[in-house]
Amino acid sequence: MSTPKDERDEYQLPGTLGRREFLKIAGGGIVIAVSMGDFELSAQEGRRGGASYPEDFNAYLLIGADGKVTGYTGKIEMGQGAISSLPQLIADELDVRYETVDMVMGDTDLCPYDMGTFGSLTIRMFGPALRAAAAEARAVLIELAAEKLKVPAADLAVKDGVVFEKAKPSNKVSYGELAGGKKIERHIKPKPPVKDVSQWQVMGKPFFHKDAAAKVTGKALYAGDIRLPGMLYAKVLRPPAMGAKIKTLDTAAAEKIAGIRVVRDGELVAALHELPDVAASALALVKAEFDIPASKLDDENIFDHLLSVAPEARNVASGGDLKEGESLAANIFEETYLNGYVAHAPMEPHTAIADVKGDKATVWASTQGPFRVKEEVAQAAGIPAAGVHVIMPFVGGGFGGKTRNIQATQAARLSKIAGRPVQVAWSREDEFFNDSFRPAAVVKIRSGTDKNGKIVFWDYNVYFAGERSSAQFYAIPHHRTLSRGEWGGGGGAGTHPFAVGAWRAPGSNTNVFARESHIDIMAAKAGMDPLDFRMKNLTDERMKQVLKAAADKFGWTAAPLPSRRGTAIVCADYNGTYIATAAKVSVDRRSGGIQVERVVCAQDMGQCVNPQGATIQIEGCITMGLGYSLTEEMHFKGNEIRDLNFDSYELPRFSWLPKIETVLVRNDALPASGGGEPAIINMGAVVANALFDATGARLRRLPLTPKRVKAALAAMEK
Amino acid sequence: MNQTIPFTLNGKSVSLSVDGERKLLWVLRTDLGLTGTKFGCGEGFCAACTVLVDGEAVRSCQYPVKNAAGKSVLTIEGLAQNGKLHPLQEAFVKHDALQCGFCTPGMILVAYEFLKKNPKPTEKDVREALEGNLCRCGAHTRIIQAVLDAAGTR
């Protein structure tokens, strides 16, 4: 039999390194100054800020004798494109060609600590640390060159990694010759400044996915593609409902299959075999009875339940006096908005392979947080964290769901028991069942307008979505925003029937849906155009400019709501990134189906490092956002999840696609804010408002399923 | 239950002694070490596991390996020839038509079969051809442009 196994060294990890070359580096004993004890780790978790990254540039950069630059980052690559944009920061600050910079991502032995890849924070929070490191390295290299060339540093310049005398360019030395792949002991205090945006050469220019060639050839390695000698594949028993406990277990039939080993460690039961499909067949023969905790909750009564268990409110923002505001109101609006549980559903289910040997473990995991995996695996396997090495393959989508790493701890426990490397790759059903869903949430808004269509008061109460993007930004004299619970839970045991967590732009999707729906309800009552109504109630010039950019691109013309054109325009602030989205929909009144025909999104993210990457993220957000707007919600009864695969849990498809247009509103006056999430947060609101504009039907609950749309249309006809 | 199953894989002859009921996906990924073909849902709903058997796109997670006997199987690893990317692969790179890349092999192979049968498609044709392929990152618009570009009808 001829097998292509010997070609596997061509397979690639994040970065452009081949596997063989990467392993050479990883095993080559290169000294990198990352000395971070547990104390520092926990302090960083507490601070959650960019200031916590290491200050030694050696933690971020290695300049090889050949002049090639390797950047080290604790961030991971899951499709968001950090692999392409981070080298821009290094190349620009260091004055080397983009092509000579490669990244090693998320390797816990090689890379500086990072809390995880989420929250659109890579460029916003990690970017400044990386740029500062590269800028200092450049200054040190110039100092070294000054000594070597016997020329004052002020008389030197750098181009493409070569330092030369300005007056005599032939007097030169390359970074490679200066650094030689060794750690540089010198530092510069105070640290040199990073480049002003006006000096950017590489940043601000469009760069395509660096990993595209590896991904179109199938050579990009994901966690499930890692092969270790002697490895076993584990299939883990999934209980029938959340919280179910094993009552009886019969593994006899499964264990009759040759080569099968069934392992039980508490509630963790798995079939292990040298072939994953045989492990799955064996698992199907495991007979188990469970005690299932009783629950009366389902996807309809969950909202009343959440209101009843809500903890005390936190004041997110307030100003003026609500009572006084109410006295000024000619019209008062009181509405409740609902949003169901939504799954992350990355195309790659959670996967990990762990090799636990004594008090050491090597782990490859599909995760957004390799340094968390390090801690969690250490705990699960009962070994010191210092002995755990997490290596990051490419991640097949995360969206917040891969901040939880249960699969990695399962693999570690099973590897420890089996004494061999064990891969745990969840099935799609496992993936849905074990997900940490975007929480179901309720928003109650009470507001008022005066007779001129000015909003005079705003009383906003969000339950369990979280507070992100909840604070309103209109010029409202009397307002209050209260938040109860959060996207990670926050209501005590029994609040949610299953795990909840961060889902792309956590909190914001629900908050913007509620706020911007409510704004249109007020605009309709005032007989106004939704854009005019917003402009009238905004004094934030930056927001007005973003709205105008979207409106101009869309070709917006004013008409009172509902115009029967099926158009809408909404705006939002996501952690400092401003976005405005205009859309047009058509509604099939017979089926209740909504087709989103066109979406225009304008985004002001401050300085933009990679316009190509930013554009792609906006497009992706718009497309993904169609799902939670139109179909996605988790159905459940008691603790039993009803949607376990893509037959009933419907993701956006090609036929749903609107024409998508994007505008990057240039704003070099502000530092770079995030771009991975913002554009998704307008989608629920813009589609719901466009539905109203098309039909006059107002839905206050997402998703806008055909059934709900039909029912709303039928109710209007009565 | 093992049987000998000879077939052509990416232009080379292979002969396996395996349980013929096992699904082609796992034989490719495990026995043959070709991990470019991805598991997405296990039920044929997502098309991440698509490979071509005698030119027909099949969901390898549903396809018993015995059915491949005597046939020609093409996986994503076999598309580039002599280190040169296939025009579809080139078009995906040129249009940045991917993000996480996990659905990409399936997308490309479904598009490959489709373009063989419909060399001059419209945008609507491409959408319909790819309707069964799921992508969570939302690379759809660029994938359509890439396929049209590869066909020369963009």
Q: Which residues of B touch A429 (CB under 8 A)?
A: 42
Q: Does A646 touch chain B (CB under 8 A)?
A: yes
> How long is chain B?
154
> How far is the C-alpha of B113 from the C-alpha of A657, rounded, in Å?
22
Give every CB contact of residue B11 below 8 A, 6+ residues apart in sequence.
B78
What pLDDT band is residue A20 in, cutting at 50, 70 and 90? low
Helices (H), ranges, A482-640? 508-525, 530-537, 541-554, 611-630
Tell me the pLDDT of chain A averaged across its residues.
Answer: 93
Gap from A603 CA to chain B (nearest CA, Å): 18
Contact call for B138 and A624, based on CB within 8 A: yes
Identify the closest residue of chain A to B91 by CA–CA distance.
A216
pLDDT tens track for A537-592: 999 999 999 999 999 999 999 999 999 999 999 999 999 999 999 999 999 999 99
CA distances (Å), origin B58, targets B48, B63, B66, B78, B100: 10, 7, 14, 16, 22
Gap from B125 CA to chain A (nearest CA, Å): 10
pLDDT of residue A47: 41
The full set of domains in chain A, from first to last, is 4-216 (3.30.365.10), 227-292+350-425 (3.30.365.10), 302-341+437-717 (3.30.365.10)
Which part of chain B has CATH 1.10.150.120? Answer: 87-151
Given this structure, which CATH class describes domain B2-78? alpha beta
Checking if the pLDDT of A600 tops 60, the result is: yes
Checking if the pLDDT of A26 tops 90, the result is: no
- For residue B27, the 8-state DSSP code is I
pLDDT tens track for A152-167: 999 999 999 999 999 9
pLDDT of residue A5: 42
Residue-wise DSSP of A101-131: EEEEES-TTTS-----S-TT-IIIIIHHHHH
Which part of chain B has CATH 3.10.20.30? Answer: 2-78
Q: How many CB pairs under 8 A join A and B?
A: 196
Q: Which of B136, B145, B148 to mutate against chain A (most A CBs within 10 Å)?
A: B136
Determine phi and psi for A527, rounding to 5 degrees. 65, 30
pLDDT tens track for A512-527: 999 999 999 999 999 9
Nearest to B102 among A216, A347, A652 (CB): A347
Checking if the pLDDT of A677 tops 70, the result is: yes
Q: Which residues of A touch B127 (CB under 8 A)?
A: 654-655, 657
> In 10 A of CB A160, how many CB atoms?
12
Instruction: Please tell me the pTM assigned to this model.
Output: 0.94
* Chain A 370-429, residues with CB within 8 Å of chain B CB atoms: 394-397, 399, 425, 427-429
pLDDT of residue A30: 29
With residues binned 3-state (H G I as helix, E B as strand, rest as coil), the percentages for chain A, rounded to 5, are 35, 25, 40
> How far is the C-alpha of A477 from the C-alpha of A455, rounded, in Å?
8
Tokens for A516, please give them. Answer: 């911007």
Q: Is the peptide bond before B87 cis (omega within 30 degrees of 0)?
A: no
**Angle, helix B140-151 to helix B87-94, in steps of 10 degrees:** 140
Q: Which residues of A touch B139 (CB under 8 A)?
A: 616, 619-620, 623
Nearest to B33 among A227, A275, A348 (CB): A227
pLDDT tens track for A169-226: 999 999 999 998 888 989 998 889 999 999 999 999 999 999 999 999 999 999 999 9
Determine phi and psi for A499, rounding to 5 degrees. -65, 145
Q: How far is CA A332 from the centre of its chain?
A: 37
Asked if B99 contacts A620 with a C-beta cutoff of 8 angstroms, the reply is yes
**Domain B87-151 is classified in which CATH homologous superfamily?**
[2Fe-2S]-binding domain (1.10.150.120)
> How far is the C-alpha of A94 from the C-alpha of A136, rounded, in Å?
9
Contact call for A397 and B139, based on CB within 8 A: no
Q: Is A462 helix (H, G, I), strand (E, B) or coil?
A: strand
Gap from B109 CA to chain A (nearest CA, Å): 10
Gap from B80 CA to chain A (nearest CA, Å): 7
Q: Which residues of A touch B74 (CB under 8 A)?
A: none
Provide the ipTM.
0.98
